[in-house]
Amino acid sequence: DADVTQTPRNRITKTGKRIMLECSQTKGHDRMYWYRQDPGLGLRLIYYSFDVKDINKGEISDGYSVSRQAQAKFSLSLESAIPNQTALYFCATSGVPGQGAANQPQHFGDGTRLSIL
Amino acid sequence: KNEVEQSPQNLTAQEGEFITINCSYSVGISALHWLQQHPGGGIVSLFMLSSGKKKHGRLIATINIQEKHSSLHITASHPRDSAVYICAVDKTSGSRLTFGEGTQLTVNP
């Protein structure tokens, strides 16, 4: 089983619908992230959470909200989807930097391909 | 101008060739990451480095902090190396990455 699981893997929906993308992890990491990927733009950070009580906006948070239900679960919602939110969405996790390891690699889910018509 | 620039954007090689992908950045960093995105979309972390050089199998990553430049090398390339390679930097030790746009590598048999 994957360490970072995203559901659904693919979703097609209509403008104005509310959509939730879910992410769960078995890595025991405190830190979780939501990114979107658009052709030619690379990955951009939507929201991130350093623990259950800590949620922060990334560079492109408008139109999105998140919920950190537990250490292992981090959901992304589009309250009223619009076509320019069509993209590939990734969830990622990382451990907490510690002594001797100032940085930690991020572990990504397989992505959710979202199309909004 | 993007804080992280990769070159080339696209690269086509023949099997067995030595490949170099470059990454330049314009900010102070605590670490640089190289990621691989498979044709199916999944992303895997290849390297995380803050100085010097790291090697894993046929892949080698180097970084020059003074010049703000990193390279990813693939020796004896193989068609299964075909993927998008992404450079990302940690501007702080808070694990918020800034990404380059990626380099699409195609290795032909």
pLDDT, one tens digit per residue, over B88-106 is 999 865 568 999 999 999 9
Neighbouring C-alpha atoms within 13 Å toward the C-beta of A3: 13
Tell me the pairing of strands B19-25 and B69-74.
antiparallel
Q: Which neighbouring-strand residues pair with A25?
A: A4
Distance CA B25, CA B4 (A): 4
Under 8 Å between Cβ of A6 and A22? yes
Provide the pLDDT for residue A95. Answer: 84
Tally helices (H) and strands (E) across chain A. 0, 11
Q: B42 touching A, CB under 8 A? A: yes
- Residues of A within 8 A of B94 (CB-CB) are 50, 97
DSSP B60-79: EEEEETTTTEEEEEESS--G
Q: B36 touching A, CB under 8 A? A: no
pLDDT tens, position by position, B43-60: 999 999 999 999 999 999
Q: B13 touching A, CB under 8 A? A: no
Q: Which of B6, B30, B92, B96 to mutate to test the interface with A (most CBs of A within 10 A)?
A: B96
Residue A103 has pLDDT above 80, yes or no: no
Q: Which two tokens stand for residue A36?
A: 């979107």
Provide the pLDDT for residue B41. Answer: 81
